[in-house]
Amino acid sequence: MIEFTFGQILEALLLAARWTVVLSLVSFVAGGTVGLALLVMRVSRSRLSRAFARVYIEVFQGTPLLLQLFIVFFGLPLIGVDVSPWVAATLGLTFFTSAYLAEIWRGCVQAVPKGQWEASESLAMNYFEQLRHVILPQAARIAVAPTVGFGVQAIKDTALVSIIGFSELTKAGAEISNATFKPFLVYGLVALIYFALCYPLTHYARTLQRTLYGPR
């Protein structure tokens, strides 16, 4: 057993938490970009685009994130594409996040009154002009709170990438616990760090919800 002080354990966990934050941000931004493209396809007038987006969303929503990470990390090398744990984690989380964000945002688009589509169409706007200038700005206001709320889930989902060898907070916690034989202390600190990362977003989402949807 290696003796570590409380300060050394906390410092090591905080250093690992940096990768949790970076992975959360990268996967959320990349997932949001893909999710926006899926949203446009999902509400498109093209039957083929709608079908592709629907199948993509149902596949990644209907399978566990852990399984998706395994397929990316162990499956791609079988076809000659070697990926590092960082790339596999980013791809897996991006696919998963994009599917959920696309559905969240689709609900927000559908919440915009149908009259807004009809009014913009009467102004001779094409489909993409309607989305860009009329529909999406209104849907964005509705989407802020649930999107921020899903960001909390995105942070917690990063814990699963430890299973493919990516050294983030949960992985570091397991390694330190095995070295120190202090699982209660180590995992207690891991839980507190996750809480410190997630609570501000949760509080912000609730504040936004009260501000945007509260009585006027």
User: Does residue 14 lie within any of the structural domains?
Assistant: yes
Confidence (pLDDT) at 212? 63
For the stretch 104-122, pLDDT in tens is 999 988 888 888 888 887 8
The distance of Cα 37 from the centroid of its chain, to the nearest Å, equals 15
User: Does residue 50 lie within any of the structural domains?
Assistant: yes
Q: Which amino acid is at 115?
A: G
User: Does residue 43 lie within any of the structural domains?
Assistant: yes
For the stretch 80-104, pLDDT in tens is 888 899 999 999 999 999 999 999 9
The structure's pTM equals 0.87
Confidence (pLDDT) at 2? 58
**CB neighbours of 25 closer than 8 A, spacing ≥ 6?**
none
User: Does residue 125 lie within any of the structural domains?
Assistant: yes
- 16-to-9, 13, 161 alpha-carbon distances in Å: 11, 5, 13
User: Does residue 144 lie within any of the structural domains?
Assistant: yes
CATH of the domain at 136: 1.10.3720.10
Residue carrying structure tokens 């990768």: 19
User: Does residue 176 lie within any of the structural domains?
Assistant: yes
Confidence (pLDDT) at 216? 46
User: Does residue 216 lie within any of the structural domains?
Assistant: no
User: Does residue 183 lie within any of the structural domains?
Assistant: yes
Confidence (pLDDT) at 44? 86
Collect the ranges in the chain with pLDDT lower than 50. Answer: 216
Torsion of CA 127, 133, 139, 142, to 10 degrees: 180
- 125-to-78, 118, 130, 181, 186 alpha-carbon distances in Å: 48, 10, 6, 65, 58
Q: Where does the chain have alpha helices with state H?
A: 6-42, 47-61, 65-70, 85-111, 114-122, 127-130, 136-157, 169-180, 183-213
Q: Which two three-digit tokens encode residue 212?
A: 């945007």
Confidence (pLDDT) at 112? 87
Confidence (pLDDT) at 38? 94
Domain count for the chain:
1
Domain that holds residue 178: 6-211
